Structure 1
Amino acid sequence: MAKDSKVQSIAETIVADSPETLVESDDQTKVQPKDKSLFNFARNKVRGWSRSTQFVIAATFILGLTMFFVGDLVSERVKSAALQSAAEAGALYMEAFLEPYVQEMNERSEISQESIAALDQMLNTSSLKRHVESMKIWRPDGTVVYSTDKSILRQTFATDEIAGALGGHVVTDLEDLSQDENRFERALNVPLYEIYAPLRDGKSGKIVAVGEFYERADGLEKEIAKVRGQVWRVVGTATLAMLLLLFFIVRRGDAIIQQQQVALRSRVIEQARLHSKNAMLQRRIAKANQEFWKINELTLRRLGADLHDGPAQLLTLILIRLDDLADQLEACAKLPGDREIYESIRGAAQDALREVRDISRGLALPEISELSLREELALVAGRHEQRTGSKVELALGELPGDLPLPLKICIYRFVQESLNNAFMHAGGAGQRIVADYRNRLLSLTVCDSGQGFEVAATPIETDGRGHLGLAGLRYRVESFGGSFTVESELGVGTRVRAQFRR
C-alpha cells in the first residue's frame, strides 16, 4: 500500500507540473506535436493502402519522372538535329550565293558597292525571300560589312557564334535574338533562327568572312513540335504500358502474399490455440501427478500405521505371552528341555517385529513440514545411516529457506530412494548428498563410488527393482516441473541429479 501511494503521489506531481511546462514552452514546441500527428496520420493512411496501390503511386512518380527526363532529352536531341540539318542546308545556300561576293575581301576587307547592290537584289528575289528574312556578312573581327539592316553597317559586335564559325563550324540558334545587332530581326515579329557559316577564299580555302542567314522558323517549329509530340506519345505509351504490366505483376504478387498471410495467420492462431490447449493439458497432468503422489504418500502412511498398529502390536503381544509362558514353565520345571525351541520361536518373533517396524518406519514419512530443507536432508541421511550402518557425507551449500510441503516430500523421497539404490548396488561406498541453490535453480545430487553401469545401454523401465525405483523418481521429479538425470561410469560410480527452477 505504501508503494502504491508513492506511485500515485508521483503521478499527481507530474499532472500538476504539466500545465506550467506547457505554458513555458515556445511556439515551435507547441506546433511540433501537431506536425508529428499530421505526419503519423499520413503515414498510417499510406500504410492502409494495398501494396499494389502503393507501388503504382511510387512507380508512377519515379518512372514518370524518369520518362519525363528521357522525353525531354529526346526532344532536345530532335530539335538539335533539326536545327543542324537546317544549318547545313543554310550553309549550302551561303556557299552558293555569298562566297562569290566575299572573294574581294581577301584583298581589302570590304565589299564593294556593286556587290552590296547585287546582294540586295538577290535577297529580294521571290525564291529566296520565302525562306530568308535577313542576311549579314561579318569580318573576322566582328564588324558587319553587309546587312539587310543598313543601320548597323561597319559596326562591330561581339558574338560567340562568329567565333564558332571562324573555327570552321556551322552554328545555329533558334531562340536567341536579344543582342543589339538583332533589332531589325526582332522588329519583324516572326519566328526566326540564325545560321552562321564560314565563307572561304576560293583559291586558298582560308576563311575570309562569316555569313549569317535569318530564316523563318514557322515550318521548322511545326516539324519540331510534330516530332516532339510523336516522341512524347511513344514515351507516354511505353510508360503507361510498363506501369500497367508492373501493376498487374505486383497486384498478383500482392494477392498471393495476402493469401499466404491469411493462411499463415490462421496457422499461427491454430498453433496458439494448440499451444494453449497443450499447456492446459500439461498443467492438468502435472496437477494429476502431484495429486497422485499425495495420494500415494497418504496410502504409504496408512500402510505404515496399519503395520505398526496391527501386526507389530500382535507380535509384541506374542513376545509378552511367550515370556509369561516361559516363566510359568520354569516355575513348573518343565522348560529346560524345550529351551532351544522357545528361543528359536522368540528370536523369530523379534525378527518379525523388527522388520515390521522397519517397514512401517520406511512407509510412514516423518513430519517434515516444520523442518528446513537443510534439516530435512540431514534427517534423511541420518535415518539411512541408522538403518544401514553406512556413512553418508553431506555437502550443502546455500539453500532456500521455505519450500512447499509437496516439494519437500518429493525431495525426501528422491534422496531416500537414491540412497537405497546406492546402498543396494554400491554397498554404500562413497555415499554423498550435494545440494545448492543458485540463480533460482535448486540442484540436488546423490553420489556413490560403486561399480556404476552403462546408462545408455540400460533402460530405466526394466524389471529390476533399482531401475523401477529410478523410473519412479523420474516421474515424481518431473511431475513437479523438475529435471531428472542419471550419470554413471563403470568403475567410477553413479550420480543421480534432480533440479527444480524456482
Structure 2
Amino acid sequence: MRLGGIFDRWNNQSLARQFLIAGGLVSLAAALLVGAYVTRLIEATVTRNSAASTALYVDSIIAPLLPDMKTSRTLDDVTTRALDETFGQGALGGKVISFRLWRLDGTVLYATDKGMVGKRLAPDEDLRTAFSGQMVARFGPPDDPESEIEKAADKPLLEIYNPILQPWSGEVVAVSEFYEIADDFQQSLHQAQFRSWLAVAGVTLAFFLLLSAIVFRGSRIIDSQRQTLTQRVTELSDLLSQNRALHARAQRASRRATALNESYLRRLGADLHDGPAQLVAYAALRVDSRLLTDPATPPTAREKEVSTIKARLDEAMNEIRSICSGLVLPQIETAELPDVLRRAVDAHRQRAGLDVVLSMSNSVQPLSPSAKICIYRFVQEALNNGFRHGGGIAQGVRQTFENGNVVIEVADRGPGFDPDSVRPEGLGLAGLRERIESLGGTFGIFTSPNGTTVRMSLNVQEMEQA
C-alpha cells in the first residue's frame, strides 16, 4: 500500500517535475562519477609527469656518482660520501627527504637512513615493477614498514621508484627509491582537481538546464494539448449526448408522426365520409327518384328536384374545397417570416371573423422552408385551439428573436385548461410538439384561469446548418 501510494503521488506529478527530480538525481550521480574518474586520471597523470621530471633530475645528478652496478656488489666510501653530500647539503638536500638504492636481490646498497644500509628485504610490488623497467610514483603518506622516517615527517610526499639502466645494454641494474617533499605539487594537484570538478559541474549543469528548458517547453505543450484534448473530449461527449437525445427524439417523432399521419388520414376519411360523401350519395339517390324518371312529372316539380340535387352537389363541392384548403398551404416557401405570420393570422381572421393582434420584431432572419411550414402550422393550430376552446377572446401572436432563437407566442384571454387532460393521441397539441421537436426546437404551454400562452422556439443557426 505504501509503495502504491508513492507510485500514485509520483504519477500525479507533472512531467517537468518528474524530470527535475529524476534528471537531477541522475545528473548529480553522473557528475560525481565523471568528476571522480577525471580527478583520478588527473592525479595519476600529474603524479607520473611530475615524478618523471623529478626522477630524471635526480638520475642526472646521482648517475655520474655511481660505479658499474652490474659488477659492484657494494659502494665504496668515496661514492657513499659523495651521495651523503648530495642528499645532505647539495642540490637535492631541500627536495628529497630520504633516498635508498636497491640492488636486484633486495639489498639496500645506500640509504640516507644509515640503519637501512646492507639490509636485505623482500621486494614489494612497487619495487618489483621498478626492477621490470617501469617507473613507479605514488602521492600520499607512505605505507612501507621501513618508511618510519618518512611517516614521521608529516609532510605531503611523492614516492618514486626509478629503475637505473646500464648505458650500453639498457638492462636494469638497480632501483633508486626516494621521497620528494611535494608541497607545490600538492597545491598544483588540488588546483587541477578543483578546476576539473568545476568544469564537470559546469558542463553537467549546462546540459541539465538545456534539457530542462526543452522538457519544460514540451511539458507546457503537452499540458496545453491535454487541456485542449480534454476540452474537445468534453465537447464531443456533450455533442454525443445531444445526438443521442436528438436521435431518441427523432425516433419518437417518427413514431408519433406515423401515428399522427394515420390519425389525420382517419379524420380526413371521416370528414369526407360524413360530409361530401353523404351529400353526393343523397344527390345520387335523388337522381334515380320517380320525379326525374317519370315522364308525367310536372316541369315545376322536375326543376325543383334538379335544383335540390344541384344544391347538394354544390354543398359537397364547398366542403371538399374547405377540406383541401386546410390540407394545402399557401405558397410560403419563398416568403419571409413576417409574410408567413400575416398569412396565418389573416386566414384565421377570415375563418373566425375575429380580430387577432400581431406583433413582430424588426429584424429578419433567413429560415428554411421546413421552419416556415412549422411556424405557419403552429400559429394556425394554436389560433384554432384558442378559438375552439377559449372562445377566441383577445387572441394575439407575438414574434421575437432571443439569443439566436426565433420565438413565437400565441396567447388568449380564455378560461384556460388543464394540460394533463389533453389526450396523448390527440392531433392538435401533440402534433405541434412533435413537429417542433423534430426540428430541434422547444414547445411549451402556460395556462391559467386568466388565459393561455402557447410558445415555440427554433434555433436559427442550427436550422441554417441543417
**What is the TM-score normalised by the length of structure 1?**
0.52
Q: Secondary structure at the match of 1:129?
A: coil
Q: Distance in 2 between matches of 1:210 and 1:81?
A: 22
Q: 1:169 aligns with which of 127, 131, 134?
A: 134
- Residue 130 of structure 1 corresponds to 94
CA contact (8 A) 2:141 2:151 kept: no
Look up the match of 2:427: none
TM-superposed deviation, 1:134: 0.5
| Contact kept? 2:105, 2:120, Cα under 8 Å | no
1:245 and 2:210 aligned:
yes
Secondary structure in 2 matching 1:146: strand
CA distance in 2, matches of 1:202, 1:292: 121
CA drift at 1:228: 0.8
Aligned counterparts of 2:38 and 2:187: Cα–Cα separation in 1: 17
What is the rounded CA distance, in whole Å, between the counterparts of 2:62 and 2:129 in structure 1? 19
Q: How far did 1:306 drift?
A: 8.2
CA distance in 2, matches of 1:217, 1:282: 93
Do 1:169 and 1:197's aligned partners in 2 also have CA atoms closer than 8 Å? yes
CA 1:45–1:252: 2 relative to 1, 3 Å: same
- The answer to whether the 8 Å contact 1:191/1:218 transfers is yes
Structure 1 equivalent of residue 51 of structure 2: 87
Contact 2:136-2:161 at 8 Å conserved across structures? yes
2:140 corresponds to which letter in structure 1? E
**Pick from 58, 64, 68: which aligns with 1:100?**
64
Local SS of the residue matching 2:28: helix
The number of equivalent residue pairs is: 291
Partner SS for 2:123: coil
**For the residues of structure 1 that align with 2:103 and 2:219, how far apart are their CA atoms?**
71
What is the CA distance between 1:304 and its match in structure 2?
Answer: 7.2
Q: Distance in 2 between matches of 1:130 and 1:57?
A: 54
CA deviation after TM superposition for structure 1 residue 296, in Å: 2.8
Match of 1:281, as an amino acid?
L
Distance 1:166 1:155 in 2: 15
Question: 2:217, 2:108 → 1: CA distance?
Answer: 70
User: CA–CA distance in 1 between the matches of 2:141 and 2:132?
Assistant: 21
- How far did residue 286 of structure 1 move? 0.6
* Residues 1:146 and 2:103 are matched in the alignment: no
Instruction: State the 1:176 CA deviation.
Output: 5.8
Indicate the SS of the match to 1:105. Answer: coil
Aligned ranges 1:226-241 → 2 under 5 Å: 226-241=191-206
Does the CA-based 8 Å contact 2:98-2:112 persist in structure 1? Answer: yes
- Hey, what does 1:43 align to over in structure 2? 7
Q: Tell me how large the CA RMSD over aligned residues is.
A: 3.2
Deviation at 1:67, TM superposition (A): 2.2
Alpha-carbon distance in structure 1 between the residues aligned to 2:170 and 2:242:
102
Task: State the one-letter code of the partner of 2:121.
Answer: T
CA contact (8 A) 2:51 2:158 kept: no
SS of match in other structure, 1:197: strand
For residues 237 and 167 of structure 2, what CA distance do their matches in structure 1 show?
Answer: 97
Q: Give the letter aligned to residue 186 of structure 2.
A: E
What code does the residue aligned with 2:94 have?
A: R
Query: Counterpart amino acid of 1:265?
Result: T
Contact 1:102 1:199 (8 Å CA) reproduced: no
When residues 186 and 157 of structure 1 are mapped into structure 2, their CA distance, relative to the original with a 3 A threshold, is farther
2:41 maps to amino acid:
R
Q: Which amino acid aligns with 1:207?
A: V
Give CA-to-partner distance per residue, 1:120-166, whole Å, 9 cap, x none.
Answer: 12111153122100001111122221112222222213211222222
Residue 207 in 1 paired to residue 196 in 2?
A: no
> Equivalents in 2 of 1:196, 1:239: separation in Å?
38
1:269 corresponds to 2:234: yes
Q: Distance in 1 between matches of 2:273 and 2:107?
A: 142
Q: Tell me how far apart the structure 2 counterparts of residues 245 and 169 of structure 1 sit (CA, whole Å).
A: 46
Paired amino acid for 1:241: A
Instruction: Report the Cα distance in structure 1 between the residues aligned to 2:170 and 2:204, rounded to whole angstroms.
Output: 51
Q: In structure 2, what is the Cα distance between the partners aligned to 1:258 and 1:203? A: 78
What per-residue deviation string (whole Å, max 9, x for no partner) do you get for residues 29-77 of structure 1?
xxxx4x34xx41x333333433222212222211222222222222112
Residues 135 and 211, structure 1, Cα contact 8 Å, conserved in 2: yes
Residue of structure 2 equivalent to 1:291:
256
Instruction: Read off the aligned partner of 1:217 and give its amino acid letter.
Output: A
CA distance in 2, matches of 1:51, 1:207: 64
Structure 1 residue 209 displacement after superposition: 0.4
Shift of the alpha carbon at 1:196? 0.9
Residues 102 and 209, structure 1, Cα contact 8 Å, conserved in 2: no
Instruction: Using the aligned pairs only, state the percent identity.
Output: 34
Q: Deviations over 1:397-444 (max 9, x none)?
A: xxxxxxxxxxxxxxxxxxxxxxxxxxxxxxxxxxxxxxxxxxxxxxxx
Amino acid of the structure 1 residue aligned with 2:134 = H
Work out the CA distance in 1 between the residues paired with 2:148 and 2:120: 13
Name the amino acid aligned to 2:145.
Answer: D
1:165–1:210: 8 Å Cα contact kept in structure 2?
Answer: yes
Pair 1:159 & 2:121 matched: no
Q: What secondary structure sits across from 2:91 in the alignment?
A: helix
Question: 1:108 aligns to what SS in structure 2?
Answer: coil
Q: Which runs of 5+ in 1 are unaligned?
A: 1-32, 326-478, 480-502
Provide the residue aligned with 1:198 in structure 2: 163
CA contact (8 A) 2:164 2:174 kept: yes
1:71 aligns with 2:35: yes
How far off is 1:105 after superposition? 2.7
Structure 2: any 5+ residue segments left out of the alignment? Answer: 291-437, 439-466
Secondary structure in 2 matching 1:97: helix
Q: Could you tell me which residue of structure 2 aligns to residue 366 of structure 1?
A: none
Q: Which residue of 1 aligns with 2:219?
A: 254
| Cα deviation, residue 173, structure 1 | 1.0
Q: Measure the CA separation in 2 of the matches of 1:251 and 1:105.
A: 71
Shift of 1:249: 2.1
Contact 2:141 2:157 in 1 (8 A): no
Distance 1:316 1:203 in 2: 153
Looking at structure 2, the residues matched to 162 and 108 of structure 1 have their Cα atoms a distance apart, in angstroms, of 20
Answer whether contact 1:94 1:211 (CA < 8 A) is retained: no
The equivalences for 1:100-119 within 5 A come to: 100-119=64-83
Instruction: Please list the CA deviations of residues 10-46 of structure 1 after superposition, one character each: whole Å capped at 9, or x if unmatched.
Output: xxxxxxxxxxxxxxxxxxxxxxx4x34xx41x33333
Answer whether contact 1:137 1:147 (CA < 8 A) is retained: yes
Q: Match of 1:187?
A: 152
- Bigger mean CA offset, 241-250 vs 211-220: 241-250
Deviation, 1:115, is 1.8
SS in structure 1 at match of 2:176: strand
1:109 to partner: Cα distance:
2.0
- Distance in 2 separating the partners of 1:292 and 1:232: 86
Bigger mean CA deviation after superposition, 129-138 or 253-262: 253-262
